[in-house]
C-alpha cells in the first residue's frame, strides 16, 4: 500500500460550515474521499492510500489543479483509492467540496 | 425538498449504502454511530495490500422512518462485496445487541443487506461474526425488537447475509435483489454446470431473485427498485411485526416442511410457480412491480405469520 501526502496552502478557506463529508466508495475504478474541516487558516493536507504504484506525478498534478481551482483551505482530505482514474479523482474532490459548502 | 423528490425515484440497486440510508429515512434524520472520521477500519486488509474503507463498508446509526425512531445498518455492496469481516460485522452485532439490551433505544432495526457473504481475507472473524449476528437477532427478537431486512443491492444477500435474512422478523426484496446461501458460481464450481449454470442470468434471477423469493414465502414484501419503493414497504412492514416465541418457531418449521413437500420435486422456478396455482407462470418475469406485488398477495404460501 502506497501512502502519498501533500501539504498545500490554498488561496482562502473553503466556504460553508460542514465539519465533515464523505463521498464515493472504495471499489474498482472508484475511491472514497473524507473531508474534515480541522486545519487552521488556508492550510490543506491531502493523504492518499492506494494499492497502485507509479502514479505519484499524476496524483500531484490532480491535487495541484484541485487546490488551485477550488481553494480547499482548512481541510484535511483523506483518500482511500480503489484504482480510480484522474478524472474520477477530480470529480470526487469537487463533489466533496460541494458537500462541505452546502448550506 | 426538491432534491429529496428527485432522489425518491432513484434506483436502490445502483445506489451506495449512504445514498440508500438518505433515501429511505426521513430527510436529515440520520445520525451515524462510529462514522468515517473515527476511522474504525479493517486491521487486516493492508496485509493483503488491499485498500481499506473508513467505515469498513458498514454504516450504522439511528434515524426516523415516517416519524418512527429506527436503528439502521447498511452494507456497502461495492466495497469488498459488502462482506462480513471483523469490523464491519462487529458494527452490526453491536447495533443489534444495543437494541436488545437498552429499551431506551429504538426497538426497530432496519438491515440494508448487500453482501456476498464472509470476507475471505478475514474469514475466521467473518464466520464468527455471522454466527454472533444471527444469535443477537434472535435474542433481540425474543426481547421484542423488530428486525427488518431490506434486500435489493448488487451483491444480493448471499452466504452469511442470506442466513442473517432468514433470522429476521420480516424480509423485503426487490426484483433485482437476490437471496440465497450458496452463490450461483459456487454451486456451478462444486456441482457442475448441469446443476446450475451461473452464466444463465435468467436462471439465476428466476431462482435466487426477488420475485421467486416473494412467491415461495422467503420474503414478506416486494419493493419497487427505488428509494420510495423500499421506504413504502419498510413503513408497511414495521407497522405489523409478528411476535417471536415458540409458537412462531413451530409455525415456521411447519411452513418450511409444507413448502418442501409441495415444491420439493420442482426443478425450476417456473414449475414451482405453476404448482403454487399461478395460471401463467411464464408471464411473471416481465410483470411490473405493482402487478406482481398484488399477485404475490393472493398466493397463500407467500403470506404467513411464521418466521
Query: Per residue in A43-82, pLDDT tens?
Result: 999 999 999 999 999 999 999 999 999 999 999 999 999 9
Whether residue B259 has pLDDT greater than 80: yes
CATH 3.60.15.10 fits B2-244, yes or no: no
Per-chain mean pLDDT for chain B: 95
pTM of the model: 0.95
Asked if B49's CB is within 8 angstroms of A1's CB, the reply is yes
Asked if A34's CB is within 8 angstroms of B36's CB, the reply is yes
Q: Which residue of B has its CA nearest to A49?
A: B51
Q: Does B155 reach chain A within 8 Å, measured CB to CB?
A: no
C-beta atoms surrounding B261 within 10 Å: 9
Asked if B36's CB is within 8 angstroms of A51's CB, the reply is no
CA distance B118 to chain A (A): 17
C-beta atoms surrounding B290 within 10 Å: 10
pLDDT of residue B4: 63
Asked if B37's CB is within 8 angstroms of A20's CB, the reply is yes
Whether residue A89 has pLDDT greater than 80: yes
Q: Which residue of B has its CA nearest to A33?
A: B54
Q: Are A10 and A42 in contact (CB under 8 A)?
A: yes
Q: Report the C-alpha gap between B221 and B173 in whole angstroms.
A: 6
Q: Are B167 and B132 in contact (CB under 8 A)?
A: no
pLDDT band at B55 (very low <50, low <70, confident <90, very high): very high
For chain B positions 177-216, those within 8 Å of chain A (CB to CB) are none
What's the whole-number mean pLDDT along residues A22-32? Answer: 97
pLDDT band at B65 (very low <50, low <70, confident <90, very high): very high
Whether residue B1 has pLDDT greater than 60: no
- Domain chopping of chain B, boundaries: 2-244
Cα radius of gyration (chain A): 12
Grid cell in block for residue B250: 413451530
| ipTM of the complex as predicted | 0.94
pLDDT band at B185 (very low <50, low <70, confident <90, very high): very high
What's the whole-number mean pLDDT along residues B78-102? Answer: 98
Asked if A50's CB is within 8 angstroms of B37's CB, the reply is no
Whether residue B161 has pLDDT greater than 70: yes
**B69 conformational bin, left if phi > 0, alpha if psi -120 to 50, beta if neither:** beta
Asked if A34's CB is within 8 angstroms of B51's CB, the reply is no
What's the whole-number mean pLDDT along residues B173-186? Answer: 96
Whether residue B6 has pLDDT greater than 80: no
Which residues in chain B have Cβ-Cβ distances shorter than 8 Å to A81? 51
pLDDT band at B130 (very low <50, low <70, confident <90, very high): very high
The C-alpha torsion from B101 through B86 and A49 to A74, rounded to 10°, is 10
Q: Does A25 reach chain B within 8 Å, measured CB to CB?
A: yes
Q: Does A78 reach chain B within 8 Å, measured CB to CB?
A: yes
pLDDT of residue B240: 87
Whether residue B181 has pLDDT greater than 80: yes
Asked if B50's CB is within 8 angstroms of A22's CB, the reply is no
pLDDT of residue A41: 96
Whether residue B2 has pLDDT greater than 60: no
- Choice between B5 and B142, residue whose per-residue pLDDT is larger: B142
Dump pLDDT digits (tens) for B25-50.
999 999 999 999 999 999 999 999 99
CA distance A72 to chain B (A): 18
- Residue B277, class by beta-carbon neighbours within 10 Å (0-12 exposed, 13-18 middle, 19+ buried)? exposed
Amino acid at each position: 500500500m502506497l501512502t502519498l501526502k501533500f501539504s498545500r496552502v490554498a488561496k482562502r478557506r473553503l466556504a460553508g460550515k460542514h465539519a465533515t463529508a464523505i463521498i464515493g466508495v472504495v471499489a474498482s475504478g472508484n475511491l472514497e474521499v473524507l473531508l474534515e474541516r480541522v486545519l487552521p487558516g488556508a492550510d490543506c493536507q491531502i493523504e492518499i492510500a492506494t494499492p497502485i504504484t507509479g502514479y505519484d506525478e499524476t496524483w500531484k498534478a490532480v491535487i495541484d489543479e484541485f487546490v488551485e481551482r477550488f481553494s480547499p483551505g482548512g481541510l484535511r482530505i483523506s483518500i482511500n483509492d480503489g484504482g480510480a482514474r484522474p478524472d474520477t479523482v477530480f470529480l470526487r474532490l469537487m463533489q466533496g467540496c460541494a458537500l462541505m459548502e452546502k448550506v | 425538498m426538491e432534491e429529496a423528490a428527485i432522489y425518491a425515484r432513484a434506483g436502490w440497486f445502483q445506489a451506495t449504502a449512504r445514498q440508500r440510508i438518505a433515501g429511505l429515512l426521513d430527510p436529515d434524520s440520520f445520525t451515524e454511530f462510529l462514522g468515517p472520521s473515527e476511522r474504525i477500519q479493517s486491521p487486516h486488509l493492508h496485509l493483503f495490500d488491499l485498500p481499506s474503507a473508513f467505515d469498513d463498508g458498514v454504516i450504522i446509526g439511528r434515524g426516523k422512518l415516517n416519524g418512527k425512531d429506527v436503528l439502521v445498518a447498511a452494507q456497502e455492496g461495492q466495497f469488498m462485496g459488502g462482506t462480513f469481516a471483523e469490523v464491519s460485522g462487529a458494527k452490526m452485532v453491536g447495533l443489534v445487541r444495543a437494541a436488545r439490551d437498552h429499551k431506551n433505544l429504538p426497538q426497530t432495526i432496519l438491515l440494508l443487506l448487500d453482501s456476498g457473504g464472509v470476507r475471505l481475507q478475514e474469514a475466521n472473524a467473518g464466520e464468527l461474526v455471522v454466527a454472533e449476528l444471527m444469535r443477537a437477532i434472535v435474542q433481540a427478537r425474543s426481547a421484542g425488537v423488530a428486525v427488518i431486512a431490506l434486500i435489493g443491492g448488487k451483491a444480493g444477500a448471499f452466504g452469511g447475509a442470506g442466513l442473517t435474512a432468514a433470522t429476521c422478523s420480516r424480509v423485503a426484496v426487490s426484483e433485482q435483489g437476490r437471496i440465497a446461501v450458496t452463490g450461483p458460481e459456487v454451486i456451478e464450481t462444486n456441482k457442475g454446470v448441469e446443476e446450475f449454470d451461473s452464466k444463465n442470468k435468467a436462471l439465476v434471477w428466476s431462482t435466487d431473485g426477488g420475485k421467486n423469493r416473494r412467491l415461495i414465502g422467503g420474503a414478506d414484501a416486494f419493493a419497487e427498485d427505488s428509494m420510495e419503493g423500499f421506504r413504502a414497504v419498510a413503513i408497511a412492514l414495521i407497522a405489523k411485526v409478528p411476535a417471536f416465541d415458540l409458537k412462531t418457531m413451530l409455525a415456521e418449521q411447519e411452513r418450511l416442511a409444507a413448502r418442501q413437500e409441495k415444491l420439493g420435486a420442482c426443478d425450476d422456478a417456473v414449475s414451482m410457480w405453476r404448482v403454487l396455482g399461478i395460471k401463467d407462470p411464464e408471464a411473471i418475469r416481465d410483470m411490473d412491480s405493482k402487478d406482481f406485488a398484488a399477485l404475490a398477495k393472493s398466493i397463500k404460501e407467500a403470506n404467513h405469520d411464521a418466521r
